[in-house]
Amino acid sequence: MTPKITRFLAEQNPATPCLVVDLDKVEQNYHALQAALPQAEIYYAMKANPAPAIIRRLYELGSFFDVASLGEIRSCLKNGIPVERLSFGNTVKSISAVQEAWRLGVRLYAFDSAEELEKLAQHAPGAQVYCRIRVINDGADWPLSRKFGTDTGQAIKLLREAPRKGLNPVGVSFHVGSQQKSVTAYQMAIGQAAQIFQTLAADSIKLDFLNLGGGFPTHYHDAVPTPETFGATITATMKELFRDNPPRLLIEPGRSMVGNAGIVCSEVVLASQRDEQGLEPRWVYLDIGRFGGLAETEGEAIRYCFQTPHDDTTAGLTPHVLAGPTCDSADVMYEKTPVMLPQELKSGDKIAILSTGAYVASYCSTGFNGFAPLDEYYL
């Protein structure tokens, strides 16, 4: 919770649930990533939080943008971001989206399959293309690799074919999985990518960049390695594998750019001891849940931290099941591993959910079960 957010909540007492983001913290995160990897160009992954206030601030700082859909492209253009700053990083694009992106001037596209490459050749002729490879996501709380990426052999084959199709093969990308806490994951993935660069160099295809994707963690419960730690390991690995001839480096941070810049202010709707004997954990129902934006609690994968008015309690903390307000039984955030909360917590208490700047507003449903979507404030 930054001083700016604390002051805003005290002075404005906004209706809950709401997300409050401190843009200065986003700026700090940008500078920290840039300082940790000064040789890298930063492409902010918009899906983490697409708020215009965030993308405008990042643009002013010099950021580029990883976009996944026409909607994100149009939003960037509407907010004054030059089209040259965009990379269409989704490897699964509809034909109409490619046609329109090309018409709007987007020149850089990701792919991970022969069919997508062909689509780009037809509808974005002459485009710069980069191939996403599948890498191990061990160490990530929110893995992404089952859905995207091809293997090294096929990447080499497709990048070789690209010039014959009139496309310009410019790079390789991967994603080590989101909330990745292991620097080793980047080392191994860079090793895999380096093989592709070497094989293609032997064919006189010189790729221009390596795109390390996102994955850098934000702080929830457990300590995570700092940007400097990731930066130092990545820099050393690049030096070791590419010597004096490194490609340009791109990174696509999402979570690490905005996660710790925002908090959700929520209210306890009900605190309930559901068994007569009081042996089971109490249930606390908040006015935000799985459908109100806390989608990453699926499988209890991302574990948020909470602040309550009773944190200086003497009665101590007890295990609680935490659930959302809707009449859907999937709307339970933490049950397998309960959350330690004060026994005094009761209906009407305000509760802050920390580090919710990433993947909360963007996951919020438009009003499931009649509950209004999250209000958002960018300070």
Ligand X SMILES: *Cc1c(COP(=O)(O)O)cnc(C)c1O
Q: How far is the CB of 280 from ligand X (least distance, A)?
A: 36
- Of the pair 16, 178, the CB lying nearest ligand X is at 178
Closest C-alpha among 102, 96, 156, 100 to residue 128? 102
- What is the bridge-based pairing of β-strands 128-132 and 168-173? parallel
The yes or no reply on residue 252 touching ligand X (CB under 6 A) is yes
Shortest gap between Cβ of 313 and ligand X (angstroms)? Answer: 34
Residues 216 and 256 sit within 8 Å (Cβ to Cβ): yes
Strands in the chain per DSSP E: 18-21, 40-45, 64-67, 86-88, 108-111, 128-132, 140-142, 168-173, 178-180, 209-211, 248-251, 262-272, 282-286, 306-307, 317-323, 332-342, 350-353, 375-378
Among 45, 117, 332, 361, which residue interacts with ligand X (rule: CB under 6 A)? 45
Question: Interface with ligand X includes 342 (CB under 6 A)?
Answer: no
Indicate whether 214 belongs to the interface with ligand X (CB under 6 A): yes
Choosing from 143, 149, 169, 213, the residue that interacts with ligand X (CB under 6 A) is: 213
Q: How many residues bind ligand X (CB under 6 A)?
A: 16
255 makes contact with ligand X (CB under 6 A)? yes
Q: Would you say 216 or 377 has its CB closer to ligand X?
A: 216
Is 327 a residue of the active site? yes
66 binds ligand X (CB under 6 A): yes
State in angstroms the smallest separation of the CB of 276 from ligand X. 45
Q: Using CB under 6 A, which residues numbered 287 to 316 contact ligand X?
A: none
Considering only residues 146 to 175 of the shown chain, the ones binding ligand X according to CB under 6 A are 175
Residues 200, 201, 205, 208, CA torsion sign = positive
CB 332 within 8 A of CB 321: yes
* Region binding ligand X by CB under 6 A among candidate stretches 114-122, 188-196, 229-237, 247-255: 247-255
Closest CA to 174 of 99, 265, 250: 250
Contact positions toward ligand X, by CB under 6 A? 45, 47-48, 66, 89, 175, 178, 213-216, 252-256
Q: List residues with catalytic annotation.
A: 327
